[in-house]
Amino acid sequence: MGSQHGKLRQLFEYNFLEYTSYVIKERAIPDINDGLKPVQRRILQTLHNMDDGRFHKVANVVGATMKLHPHGDQSIFAALVNLANKGYLIDRQGNYGNIFTGDAASAPRYIECRLSPLAREIMFNKDLTEFIDSYDGRMQEPVTLPCKIPLLLLLGAEGIAVGMATKIMPHNFCEILNAQKQILNKEEFTLYPDFPQGGMVDVSLYNHGNGKIRCRARMEEANEKTILIKEIPYTTTTQSLIDSVEKAAKAGKIKIISINDYTAEEVEIEIKLARGIYAKDTIKALYAFTDCEVAISPNLTLVQDGVPRTATVEEVLHYNTQKLLADLTRELEIDKSRLQDRLHARLLEQIFIEERIYKTIEEKTSYKDVIAGVDEALEGFKKELKRPVVTEDIERLLEIRIKRISRYDINKQKKEIKSIRAAIRKINKYLKDMVGFTINYIDSILTKYGTSYPRLTELREFTEVSVRRVALSNLTVCYERESGFLGHQIKAKSEKADFSITCSEYDRLLLIYETGIYKVIQVSDKLFVGHDVHWVGKMKKGLIFNMVYREGRENLCYVKRFASPKFILDKEYKLFDNHKRSKILLLSFGKEKSARASLMPSPRAKSNIVEIIFDEYLVKGPGAKGKRVSTRIVRRVIDATGKKPKEKKVNLPLPGMENIVHDRGEKK
């Protein structure tokens, strides 16, 4: 039983690993060489096989691609529409949907496509392509296409495999090619995403193809009551953005009258605002609470040499640039080899005709003697040739037609030999400076196609929108001391509640109890907080607290000042020793505050009142003990802000008594 269980486990592990490998390499993750997933590569190869310059029905293209792709027609159709809507490799005719609104394309029988001029120029070269058998062995398909631009960074990609995912951002056509030129010139470069939807992007946390970016819609104030959205963030559509705005409005985070979508060729969403609400403030709230701002976490995972790995933009660009250099070198060498073969053939023909070698075979009686005779006759001219003469060369000479022996054809052949030699010299010149040749090639692509692909997304550093600051204060939180409950669903029994605070759902509430305990809580519907809350308010950074409290053990009063304390939500902290007689006597806020403490009467004291000017005390931590008000017991403390201090009574001497000095009640 145990051995069967082990075999079953091995079977599952093997099959799972096979499936994992297949999903990663054959479906979800693009290859670094051509930036394509297998289905995209098969679509482009099929379009190349069918290419005659005219449009083809997408249904026909999908059907032909199924000869190479082992999956269904819907996956091929979806991939073709997605690739066509990126706008680089496939020319479209018909309704391919709308990347702005999210509308779907028409059925494949109604729309047409063909390869774009750019795709024909950069994507295909049979001499550089390695082919393998298709899934059923009936056809040949490319392992990768010999793409001459970094298509992986140009198109971007998104896919989920087993245990990994990829999310590669698209970049600008011209910026990618200019970065390749900088690599070839050994210069530094930076490359940032560019999205077909436009909008704005903050790349301050973009980590070379990974990290995090924030995308924003581009909004305009048509007037103080109307907002127009002109461009949308990457990964959103006008419909998803409108849904997020309506959801925020329903939740009370923003107030609008209506939202209308007028998008056609360009995005235009109109938002009308409610009475008392203005565009300038609402734009910030839209960024905070809706999909007008989205955060994206790029993940540059790719397949290289059959193995998945995470790379950087710079690594991908350096790899593709070196590959372009190698591919162009191979192309030149192949062209040179073909020119040399042509030159060899033309030189042989020239010798064969001008030296009248064809006359040596007139008396030969067998084909073998003919071959041997021509080979013997060419022996004296082999130094003029680029390579040794083989039987195939002689057979080609014997196939020359009689008209080629005319003077006209001989002159024409001399011109052709001259042009072939010139072409070989030109290629040799290029091969000596492949970096310069590659830069010129990139420049030619930029000149031909660059103007069609300007940057659409603006690079901008966003200021963080504080959710608490832009949220509408649409909740009224009440505290009932009698019941001990706090919340925005509490209705006070009397017209005036013990505490009533207007706030938003994102605010934090600071509770300070009579006993000196304080804690910070979230705004809630209804929460029991106790009967001895001294003060409830919104937690504000930098607020100064002025406090007079009785220390229970000593039965003395202390004054302390502290700023808004740091906190962990719902955790209790102490402002002073939690003795049963300890108690807050007065609490005020800010500067220029004062208080008046009434002391227990003493027959020897000149005054029973102490004026407390809070600004005279240092701001310390919330746990500091503070400074003692008096060595005598304090009966009560009142807020004296704005009141004039009481004048101390002074008994003036009677006339004629100025020189009498009192000391200990005795007259001297």
What is the predicted pLDDT for the residue at 17?
72
The Cα–Cα gap between 635 and 9 comes to 82
Is 437 within the bounds of a domain? Answer: no
pLDDT range class, residue 654, cuts 50, 70, 90: very low
Is 542 within the bounds of a domain? Answer: yes
Whether residue 565 sits in one domain with residue 521: yes
What is the predicted pLDDT for the residue at 402?
64
- Report yes or no: 555 and 633 within 8 Å, Cβ to Cβ: yes
Higher pLDDT, 223 or 578: 223
What is the predicted pLDDT for the residue at 653?
41
Q: E strands within 128-197?
A: 131-133, 140-142, 157-160, 165-168
Average pLDDT value for residue range 411-426: 88
Is 157 within the bounds of a domain? Answer: no
Domains of the chain: total:
4
Q: CB-based contacts of 77: which residues, under 8 Å, 6+ apart?
A: 58, 62, 108
Domain CATH code at residue 529: 2.120.10.90
- Report yes or no: 410 and 134 within 8 Å, Cβ to Cβ: no
What is the predicted pLDDT for the residue at 566?
84
Instruction: Please report, rounded to a whole number, the percentage of residues in the chain having pLDDT higher than 70.
Output: 90
Strand order in the sheet with 634-639: 609-613, 594-599, 634-639
What is the predicted pLDDT for the residue at 495?
56
Higher pLDDT, 461 or 328: 328
Whether the pLDDT of residue 358 is over 90: the answer is no
The Cα–Cα gap between 45 and 130 comes to 13
Whether residue 477 sits in one domain with residue 622: yes
Whether residue 371 sits in one domain with residue 286: no
Whether residue 630 sits in one domain with residue 481: yes
Strand order in the sheet with 112-115: 56-57, 112-115, 90-93
Is 288 within the bounds of a domain? Answer: yes
* Final residue before a domain boundary, out of 260, 293, 326: 293
Whether residue 371 sits in one domain with residue 276: no
Domain CATH code at residue 375: 1.10.268.10
Higher pLDDT, 612 or 506: 612
Higher pLDDT, 123 or 8: 123
Whether the pLDDT of residue 330 is over 90: the answer is yes
What is the predicted pLDDT for the residue at 665?
38
What is the predicted pLDDT for the residue at 554?
84
The Cα–Cα gap between 603 and 665 comes to 14
The Cα–Cα gap between 71 and 26 comes to 11
Average pLDDT value for residue range 92-108: 93
Whether residue 230 sits in one domain with residue 327: no
Structure-block tokens of residue 553 = 């053990």
- Whose tokens are 């479209």? That residue is 92
Whether residue 413 sits in one domain with residue 485: no
What is the predicted pLDDT for the residue at 464?
66
Q: What is the pLDDT of residues 545-554, one digit of tens each?
A: 999 998 888 8
The Cα–Cα gap between 184 and 177 comes to 11
Average pLDDT value for residue range 390-402: 74
Residues in a beta bridge with 587 = 547
**Structural domain containing residue 121:** 36-146
Mean pLDDT across the chain: 85
For the annotated catalytic residues, the residue numbers are: 110
The Cα–Cα gap between 479 and 528 comes to 10
Whether residue 477 sits in one domain with residue 624: yes
Q: CB-based contacts of 608: which residues, under 8 Å, 6+ apart?
A: 598, 599, 600, 601, 602
Structure-block tokens of residue 512 = 């300070």
pLDDT range class, residue 161, cuts 50, 70, 90: confident
478 by DSSP, 3-state: which? Answer: strand
Is 305 within the bounds of a domain? Answer: no
**Among the listed residues 488, 498, 495, the one whose alpha carbon sits nearest the alpha carbon of residue 530:** 498
Whether residue 481 sits in one domain with residue 402: no
The Cα–Cα gap between 302 and 310 comes to 6
Average pLDDT value for residue range 151-177: 91
Average pLDDT value for residue range 173-190: 94
pLDDT range class, residue 467, cuts 50, 70, 90: low
Average pLDDT value for residue range 488-516: 77
What is the predicted pLDDT for the residue at 667?
37
pLDDT range class, residue 379, cuts 50, 70, 90: confident
Please state which of the ranges 51-65, 339-353, 410-424 shows the lowest mean pLDDT: 339-353
Average pLDDT value for residue range 176-182: 96
Whether residue 319 sits in one domain with residue 280: no
Structure-block tokens of residue 545 = 């607290």
Whether the pLDDT of residue 408 is over 70: the answer is no
Q: Are strands 619-620 and 556-563 parallel, antiparallel or unpaired?
A: parallel
Whether residue 478 sits in one domain with residue 396: no
pLDDT range class, residue 195, cuts 50, 70, 90: very high
- Nearest 5 degrees, angle CA 9-CA 308-CA 161? 60
Is 270 within the bounds of a domain? Answer: yes
Instruction: Please report, rounded to a whole number, the percentage of residues in the chain having pLDDT higher than 90.
Output: 45
Write the secondary structure of 359-391 as one string of H (helix), E (strand) and C (coil): HHHCCCCCHHHHHHHHHHHCHHHHHHCCCCCCH
Average pLDDT value for residue range 264-291: 89
